[in-house]
Structure 1
């Protein structure tokens, strides 16, 4: 018998959206990106095998029905994943997870260091509304930072780097944006699911979020508390030389545009990613 879950995201709908909301695209034959308001979720698995897929991240609060509809469109009626894997536990990545677990009765996996934020034990640091960057950053104190509680439904990803039900993929610890943030990588074709380790839109700017103007940026500034770790995480991902990347925010990116943009971010991280000021910014003088 599972212990009772607590959904702190219930009735916390946040009225932010983008031109890409509700749009899904196949990035690879078995890798599908679906945009839920301002955040992406991923379906990993082939539509030809409708009962053998995994959901990566769980969107915005009150978005379960939209994710269920997208899954139905991709995999067919009554299809459900083998598991849900979370890159991290911020509100816009776990918004519908309790509703989806109740609907599908599947396990959830996350990094061991993220488990306290997914079992009701720890709240994230408060979003930094003072951080430099744009209107979304200024609005961020309205964003939830309290933990959800998945109870025994959430488990730590295996310590050997494997991911349950995702053959050929491995997880990489990419902290900075959150302590237990992970990115997912498939060596065979160098596909990357980066979460918020870096993103392909300037997430602090409301105009760029709404219009989805592409540019490789560091992790969203208002929730990132360890910039040194974030910098090392970007370097780690750049060294993998991914050919295609789905990030937590922004449109998928591939080829030379991805390679050059990620190289530039890794090389000039302090200038591009780290804000000039903010509560969690410690500039070297």
Structure 2
């Protein structure tokens, strides 16, 4: 599937940009370098959830065009948190389109400085402990992970409530991975965009399964595990994570799996 100079694939490499239209109705899943973005469509208008990497911009433009959306109709970017692999091309959207960016107050500074984050362990030992993490790390670097520009001007997300944005996502406060991490619940579709509060592929280990992210990138694993109760309480049937495939066996089962795996 090609648009302009950017090719969107349907393969499973996870490194090349891959578009899955309507992963749930009205939600289009764009995966790039083992990291997920979601386009929430409401007629012509749409919301972007997370912004991956600088080189995700071209695939994002191509993905929007492919599903009948226009960049000028992008009404807002919601960041589940402020890490570099989710801030990615948000600054470019602000500069070129004047799009507002939303992030929780506790992650406001992180969104502006996306490499200055709290973590429990150094990430540099993880490729030695988990060789399968090498492919995600290399893919992210190629996608521009070392050259992310932070976003200074943001609007603050509340800890709860429905956002006046296309898709009408409800904020679900799930701190731990970062202190201001938030998921987004699409109640009418029984779907939770869980960000990195619960993933199905941990890029720091390269291991699939419903889990919290390793301490290499998590501020407080204890709080992350506690936030699993919040995720389970949403009753969502589908989880769309920040990394990995959709989980379609319910939020309760995903949370139970993540608790069983625990911290790392």
Give the TM-score band, short-chain normalised: 0.7 to 0.9
The correspondence for 2:125, drawn from 103, 118, 130, is: 130
More strand by share: 2
Distance in 1 of aligned mates of 2:186 and 2:218: 26
Calculate the TM-score normalised by the size of structure 2: 0.80
Unaligned runs of 5+ residues in structure 1 are 1-16, 209-213, 276-285
Query: Does the 8 Å contact 2:46/2:69 carry over to 1?
Result: no
Distance in 1 of aligned mates of 2:114 and 2:205: 32
RMSD value over aligned CA atoms? 3.0
- The yes-or-no answer on 1:71 pairing with 2:64 is yes
Deviation, structure 1 residue 147? 8.2
The corresponding residue for 1:248 is 242
Matched ranges for 1:99-178 at <5 A: 99-120=92-113, 123-125=116-118, 127-131=122-126, 134-135=130-131, 148-152=149-153, 154-158=154-158, 160-166=160-166, 168-178=168-178
Unaligned runs of 5+ residues in structure 2 are 1-12
Query: Does the 8 Å contact 2:88/2:148 carry over to 1?
Result: no
Calculate the TM-score normalised by the size of structure 1: 0.74
Distance in 2 of aligned mates of 1:135 and 1:121: 25
Distance in 2 of aligned mates of 1:149 and 1:87: 15
Between Structure 1 and Structure 2, whose CA radius of gyration is higher?
A: 1
The correspondence for 2:31, drawn from 24, 28, 35, is: 35
Q: Structure 1 residues 55 and 246 mapped into 2: Cα distance closer, same or farther (>3 Å)? A: same
Deviation, structure 1 residue 219? 2.0
The correspondence for 2:52, drawn from 55, 59, 83, is: 59
The corresponding residue for 2:187 is 187
